[in-house]
């Protein structure tokens, strides 16, 4: 609800602790069944978030809608943390986390967030134009970002476009953080980007750990190293791109 980095991280941690506390009660549930339950929970939440977001676009009184948007965002972060808490004490944690239902739920939640963010930018062009102009960017670049986020969100849901979309959206979020740092904005202005970076990296690691027919399983260490290397490359590209576009 409160747009602060420490609060956002606290919500994730609270979800993780809640997941750990319920892990023993769910230990007897098959990983595939638990994964489907998680998918259903996320799907229901996204339906609610869609309704709330629509209200923010259709009404001028953002009091209640603003609180509702914050609450649904908090629940999304809480469920994300709870997912890893549930897996923490399971002997089949890897099987549970790389289940297609879990990956689909995570991608669906991220895709929703980027789609709503892009639509929000489109419906608030005046303040976004002012921000991009003050940051040294052109209006054309703002339009590019809006279009890229929408296509990237759709790409996350398509197997053949997943990896380039994941890399592109990660670069986008690093670019947002770099821009705020360049503008000397408070760290809390990067809360949304930091939260999405955590989710994007987590999805990248789980995607790398997924079983692949005819190939041996990747170790967690190698998956972390691989995703970390790609994340650093995205950061460097975001820094270089930000400087190039600004000039």
Please tell me the total number of residues recorded for the chain in this structure.
247
Q: What is the pLDDT of residue 2?
A: 47
Q: What average pLDDT does this structure show over 186-204? A: 93
Give pairs for 173-176: CB < 8 Å, separation 24+. Answer: 173/197, 173/200, 174/234, 174/235, 174/237, 174/238, 174/239, 175/238, 175/241, 175/242
pTM of the model: 0.92
Q: What is the pLDDT of residue 31?
A: 94
Q: What is the pLDDT of residue 207?
A: 96
Q: What is the pLDDT of residue 61?
A: 62
Question: How far apart, in whole angstroms, are the C-alpha atoms of residue 48 and residue 68?
Answer: 10
Percentage of the chain modeled with pLDDT above 70: 96
Find all residues with CB under 8 Å of 118, minimum gap 6, and list them.
145, 146, 147, 149, 150, 153
State the pLDDT confidence band at 115, using cuts at 50, 70 and 90: very high
Find all residues with CB under 8 Å of 131, minimum gap 6, and list them.
none
Q: Which pLDDT tens digit goes with each residue over 40-92?
A: 999 999 999 888 888 877 776 666 666 777 788 899 999 999 999 999 989 99
State the pLDDT confidence band at 1, using cuts at 50, 70 and 90: very low
pLDDT-wise least confident of 80-89, 184-193, 231-240: 184-193
Q: What average pLDDT does this structure show over 108-130? A: 88
Question: How far apart, in whole angstroms, are the C-alpha atoms of residue 244 and residue 247?
Answer: 5
* Three-state DSSP state, 181: helix
Q: Which is more confident, 64 or 163? A: 163
Q: Is 28 exposed, middle or buried (0-12, 13-18, 19+ CB in 10 A)?
A: exposed
Q: Which is more confident, 5 or 170? A: 170
Cα 163 versus chain centre, distance:
14
Q: What is the pLDDT of residue 102?
A: 97
Report residue 206 as tokens: 């789980």
């Amino acid at each position: 609800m409160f747009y602060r980095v420490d609060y956002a991280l606290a919500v994730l941690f609270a979800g993780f602790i809640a997941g750990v506390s319920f892990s023993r009660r769910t230990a007897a549930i098959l990983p595939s069944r638990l994964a489907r339950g998680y998918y259903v929970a996320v799907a229901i939440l996204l339906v609610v978030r869609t309704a709330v977001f629509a209200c923010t676009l259709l009404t001028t009184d953002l009091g209640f809608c603003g609180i509702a948007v914050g609450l649904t965002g908090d629940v999304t972060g809480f469920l994300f943390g709870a997912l890893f808490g549930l897996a923490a004490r399971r002997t089949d944690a890897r099987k549970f986390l790389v289940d297609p239902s879990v990956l689909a739920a995570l991608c669906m939640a991220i895709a929703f967030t980027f789609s709503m963010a892009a639509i929000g930018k489109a419906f608030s062009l005046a303040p976004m134009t002012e921000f991009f102009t003050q940051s040294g960017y052109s209006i054309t670049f703002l339009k590019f970002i809006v279009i890229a986020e929408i296509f990237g969100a759709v790409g996350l849901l398509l197997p053949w476009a997943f990896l380039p979309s994941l890399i592109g959206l990660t670069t986008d979020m690093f670019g947002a953080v770099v821009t705020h740092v360049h503008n000397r904005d408070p760290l809390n202005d990067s809360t949304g980007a930091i939260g999405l970076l955590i989710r994007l990296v987590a999805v990248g690691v789980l995607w790398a750990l997924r079983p692949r027919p005819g190939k041996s399983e990747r170790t967690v260490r190698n998956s972390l190293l691989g995703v970390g290397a790609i994340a650093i490359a995205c950061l460097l590209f975001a820094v270089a791109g930000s400087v190039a576009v600004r000039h």
